[in-house]
């Protein structure tokens, strides 16, 4: 019989324990060749199999005739700290990914993966295997288990892990209690940054960042890395994170993020994650307040200085203002309106196969992460692990992540500001008029409601000491009551039209309760949804449910994807809908707001679909969250620049969002607006009490377009 495809997913479970131990509720084990065992256990194979391999299902694993050259990956010890931002670690992971991708059959892929699981650095292995499964033709329709199931240590503080160990050791499955996670486990309100810890440390938010970088890795085989508009999407996804985070800060009476630009001054924000490391008994290192960046010297021979970052930064800014970059052959390549942002994105992230000249423009983004994550021990004299900024699964927990990305985002804004403003012709859609916008929550017009609620997660799949049965934790997270958009559009032509509905939202006021000017408010525009619609002649009402958003993925389905679930029913529609799992968690679509109500501007635009259309085959699956994640094996499904129409400076004279809608700012007597756009004032009200999960379903059952 052929090996079932889902079998490879069991390699993720309890990754720090031997592969021969049964995995999951189905007690799946692997019969691996002796040569794949760690060397110290090879002569004890029969004894260990007799003690541990009580499996209901045993997956046979063939021995490969030839193994790839793994000299580079083997330089990283099995229990060493791993950071994809470290160039040598990234190279090692790339070699592993390429080896997985080069396997010709599923059986070869499974065989190579089982060999590497027992002999490679476990964090590097999980990263490389995740990337490969998402891209290998034989496995890319499999749902990856969420990383919080694989490495709970990256999401739950050490006291929770210790309590879970105690529950698993002393109590049977039916006697275990749900472990409550304190909301203040990383700090107290003495640290004002703790006001937004619920957002930074949200499990879904951090899973999104991790998963996005699996779909869009910066190192590996070209078939994995080279995707349509990859550099631009790196810019846009992180730009949207910054817009959302700044809005969240304003909701909590905090200033917007201050860019981290002076790299010789101490970092004022400290961060203590209180998380355990995966491979050691140590905690993730803390960064006390006031530590500066220093030259980095990681053994045996990796070195860079802060002046390297400054030199690369200056060269990128020079390229932006000169209008061209210099490629590896010394040739000038223009930063055009169409391709410039994509070129810059790949340069800034130093994408191995796409950066136009990595020697000259360097590795600003990744080595910035690395410099921050080792600033507590830059020369490794105390043998400290990387801090949370060194890992894509944990970096968003740290306040400095947002200061660093405010700097990175400003580079892109600098480039965008060199582009011409959109003309009236590029913004208008003749004959189409948006007459009315109404957002409805439980019958309330233009009110959004948010609240805190709880969710339970089973940790047993990631804990080597758990011998059976669930070990559940309960954590608190933000959520919102589902709502409905009603957009009334009038098609004043006699023919049917097709358009793209673009919905954005941004705060109206700054920290001082003063109205935002347009140049600042446009940088805070949060994309809420984007979808195409057929508009018949005359007046037409479009209804759209918030849970259909083009930026979100269902957090329920993310947590449900386990190997056992897939084995039980591999054709279950609910599992297959979210096989990509890339996307903003749907419970975090709406900012928190305030008890009294936080004022926002809701912007709706219907653009001409003929200018939005991308000629390509319709995807057969994985259509969720395409605004942030694109489409698998397809071009990005919108021909416009990402963030359109707010990605460029406005025409001269535009000072407010209302001005932006004006047809002609130069004609002071003509106050007519472009009719395919409209603004609606809305309020976000936070309900200051816990609500049950079913409070989410608050919108009317009206159907959708």
Tell me the β-bridge partners of 454.
476
| Strands, E assignment, 609-698 | 677-686
Integer Cα distance of 507 and 510 in angstroms: 8
349 belongs to the catalytic site: yes
Count Cβ neighbours within 10 Å for each residue of 629-661 and write b for 16 or more, e otherwise.
Answer: bbbbbbebbbbbbbbbbbbbbbbeebebbeebb
Distance of alpha carbon 266 from its chain centroid, rounded?
28
To which H or E segment does residue 206 belong? helix 203-215
Pairing of strands 484-491, 497-507: unpaired
With contact defined as beta carbons under 8 Å apart, do 293 and 371 qualify? yes
Q: Which entry of 349, 433, 527, 545 is annotated as an active-site residue?
A: 349
Q: Which residue has the tokens 């803390």?
A: 286
Q: What is the DSSP letter of 380?
A: -
Integer Cα distance of 20 and 18 in angstroms: 5
- Residue 280: both structure tokens together: 């050691």
Count Cβ neighbours within 10 Å for each residue of 586-621 and write b for 16 or more, e otherwise.
Answer: bbbbbbbbbeeebebbbbbbbbbbeebeeeeeeeee
Helices (H), 441-554: 518-521
Q: CB within 8 A of 561, min separation 6: which ones?
A: 143, 144, 145, 146, 575, 578, 581
Phi-psi region of 615 (alpha: psi -120 to 50; beta: other; left: phi over 0): beta
Distances (CA, A) of 538 to 438, 492, 634: 19, 6, 35
Which string of DSSP letters, residue by residue, matches 164-185?
Answer: HHHHHHHS-GGGPPPEEPPTTS
Integer Cα distance of 527 and 179 in angstroms: 36
Q: Is 28 helix (H, G, I), strand (E, B) or coil?
A: strand
Catalytic positions, written as ranges: 349
């Amino acid at each position: 019989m052929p090996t079932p495809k889902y079998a490879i997913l069991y390699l993720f479970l309890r990754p720090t324990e031997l592969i021969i131990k049964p995995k999951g509720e189905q007690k799946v084990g692997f019969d691996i060749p002796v040569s794949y065992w760690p060397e110290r256990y090879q002569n004890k194979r029969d004894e260990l199999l007799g003690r541990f391999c009580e499996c209901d299902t045993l997956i046979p694993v063939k021995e490969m005739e030839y193994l790839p050259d793994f000299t580079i990956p083997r330089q990283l010890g099995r229990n060493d700290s791993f950071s994809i931002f470290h160039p040598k670690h990234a190279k090692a992971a790339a070699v592993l990914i390429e080896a997985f991708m080069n396997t010709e059959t599923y059986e070869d892929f499974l065989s190579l993966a089982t060999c590497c699981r027992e002999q490679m650095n476990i964090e590097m292995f999980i990263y490389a295997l995740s990337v490969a499964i998402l891209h290998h033709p034989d496995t890319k329709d499999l749902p990856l288990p969420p990383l919080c199931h694989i490495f709970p240590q990256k999401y739950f503080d050490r006291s929770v892990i210790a309590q879970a160990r105690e529950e698993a050791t002393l109590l049977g499955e039916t006697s275990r209690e749900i472990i409550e996670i304190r909301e203040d486990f990383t700090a107290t309100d003495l640290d004002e940054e703790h006001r937004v810890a619920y957002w930074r440390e949200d499990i879904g938010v951090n899973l999104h960042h991790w998963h996005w970088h699996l779909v869009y890795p910066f190192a590996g085989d070209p078939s994995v890395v080279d995707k349509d508009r990859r550099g631009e999407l790196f810019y846009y996804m992180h730009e949207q994170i910054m817009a959302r985070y700044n809005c969240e800060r304003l909701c909590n009476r905090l200033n917007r993020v201050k860019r981290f630009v002076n790299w010789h001054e101490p970092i004022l924000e400290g961060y203590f994650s209180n998380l355990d490391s995966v491979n050691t008994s140590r905690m993730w290192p803390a960064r006390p307040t006031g530590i500066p960046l220093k030259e980095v010297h990681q053994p045996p021979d990796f070195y860079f200085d802060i002046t390297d970052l400054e030199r690369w930064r200056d060269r990128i800014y020079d390229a932006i203002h000169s209008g061209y970059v210099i490629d590896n052959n010394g040739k000038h390549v223009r930063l055009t309106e169409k391709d410039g942002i994509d070129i810059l994105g790949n340069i800034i992230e130093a994408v191995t196969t796409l950066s136009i000249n990595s020697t000259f423009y360097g590795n600003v983004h990744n080595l910035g992460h690395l410099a921050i994550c080792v600033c507590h021990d830059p020369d490794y004299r105390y043998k400290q692990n990387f801090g949370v900024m060194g890992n894509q699964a944990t970096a968003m927990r740290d306040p400095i992540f947002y200061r660093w990305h405010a700097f990175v985002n400003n580079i892109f804004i600098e480039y965008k500001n060199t582009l011409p403003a959109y003309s009236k012709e590029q913004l208008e859609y003749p004959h189409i008029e948006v007459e009315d916008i109404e957002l409805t929550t439980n019958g309330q017009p233009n009110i959004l409601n948010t609240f805190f609620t709880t969710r339970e997660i089973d940790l047993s799949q990631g804990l080597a000491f758990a011998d059976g049965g669930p070990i559940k934790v309960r954590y608190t997270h933000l959520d919102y009551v589902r709502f409905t958009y009603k957009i009334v559009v009038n098609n004043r032509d006699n023919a049917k039209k097709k358009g793209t509905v673009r919905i954005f939202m941004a705060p109206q006021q700054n920290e001082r309760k003063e109205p935002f000017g347009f140049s600042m408010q446009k940088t805070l525009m949060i994309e809420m949804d984007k979808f195409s619609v057929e508009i018949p002649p005359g007046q037409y009402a479009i209804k759209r449910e918030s849970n259909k958003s083009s930026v979100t993925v269902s957090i329920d389905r993310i947590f449900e994807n386990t190997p056992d679930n897939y084995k039980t029913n591999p054709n279950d529609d609910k599992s297959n809908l979210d096989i990509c799992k890339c996307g903003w968690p749907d419970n975090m679509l709406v900012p928190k707001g305030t008890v009294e109500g936080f004022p926002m501007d809701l912007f709706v635009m219907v653009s001409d679909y003929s200018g939005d259309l991308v000629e390509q085959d319709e995807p057969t699956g994985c259509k969720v969250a395409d605004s942030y994640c694109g489409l698998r094996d397809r071009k990005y499904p919108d021909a416009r620049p990402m963030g359109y129409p707010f990605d460029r400076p406005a025409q001269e004279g535009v000072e407010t969002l209302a001005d932006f809608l004006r047809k002609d700012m130069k004609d002071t007597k003509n106050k007519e607006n472009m009719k395919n756009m409209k603004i609606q004032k809305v309020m976000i009200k936070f309900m200051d009490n816990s609500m049950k999960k079913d409070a989410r379903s608050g919108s009317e059952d009206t159907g959708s377009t």
